[in-house]
Amino acid sequence: MDIPISHDETLDTFYNGRLKIIQKKKGYRFSVDALLISEFVHLRKGERVIDLGTGCGILPLLLSQSGKAKTFVGVEIQEELVECARKNVRLNHLESLITILQKDFRELKSLFPSGSFDVVISNPPYWKNRTGRLNPSIEKAIARHELKGTLEDLISISSYLLKHKGRLYLIFTAQRIVDLLVALRKENVEPKRLQLVYPHPKEGAKFVLVEAIKSSGIELKMLPPLILDLS
């Protein structure tokens, strides 16, 4: 399928050119955190996966290359990002595998019964509303601040969507790790694997990667730190 690239868009390729991803030059663009969580997620054959806040569809697109998941649903509230994600799905001929929905994730109970998915993934906004400087770009502001739902809202709907023993994968700012762990336990999604990500050996942790399991026992495995720059 011939998908034209507009003058205000860029085209990135992955997996030796097998995967192509279009993004707007201005507005929200995925960054290293999306790549980090895509490597952290472990999928099994035939699983149903939903991505909350899919943006341009980066996580379903990357994870589709494993060939394991049965279906992906990407949920995004912003119309322009939804259009971009759908364009990327068509560009890569993945219409039978990936569905993109324009929806507020807080309203997903109207679309899906409880326990509809084996895996939930998300790279959610890191900052509470009214904290820090709000980006003048509305796309970036919604992606970075909790303007369209809080961390607690996200964990709550994730618990609802997951089947018994289903898995939730998140990347979050290390500065709010306590908020994250408290919210997970409150919603009966127990953290099982945790990895801190450091930009440099002499700097503090920037991100935390978490795998949590619904209705699971209490036992957390701390993985070795991931250091991005060894120079």
Name the DSSP letter for residue 61.
H
pLDDT band at 7 (very low <50, low <70, confident <90, very high): confident
Judge whether 97 lies within some domain.
Answer: yes
Of all residues in the chain, the percent with pLDDT exceeding 70 is 89
Assess whether pLDDT exceeds 50 at residue 25.
yes
Assess whether pLDDT exceeds 60 at residue 135.
no
Average pLDDT, the chain: 90
pLDDT band at 91 (very low <50, low <70, confident <90, very high): very high
Judge whether 22 lies within some domain.
Answer: no
Q: What pLDDT sits at residue 126? A: 74
Judge whether 153 lies within some domain.
Answer: yes
Domain count within the chain: 1
Q: What pLDDT sits at residue 145? A: 43
Q: Is the pTM of this model over 0.85?
A: yes
Assess whether pLDDT exceeds 60 at residue 186.
yes
Average pLDDT over residues 173-188: 96
Q: What pLDDT sits at residue 146? A: 47
Q: What pLDDT sits at residue 139? A: 45
Span 146-158, pLDDT tens digits: 445 799 999 999 9
Judge whether 9 lies within some domain.
Answer: no
Judge whether 224 lies within some domain.
Answer: no
Assess whether pLDDT exceeds 80 at residue 159.
yes
Does residue 199 come out as left (phi exceeding 0), alpha (psi in the -120 to 50 range) or beta? alpha
Judge whether 211 lies within some domain.
Answer: yes
Please tell me the distance from the alpha carbon of residue 228 to that of residue 156, in angstroms, as a whole number. Answer: 31
Kindly report the CATH number assigned to the domain that includes residue 144. 3.40.50.150
Range of the domain at 144: 30-218
CA distances from 185 to 118, 120, 198 (A): 19, 16, 25
Judge whether 185 lies within some domain.
Answer: yes
Judge whether 18 lies within some domain.
Answer: no
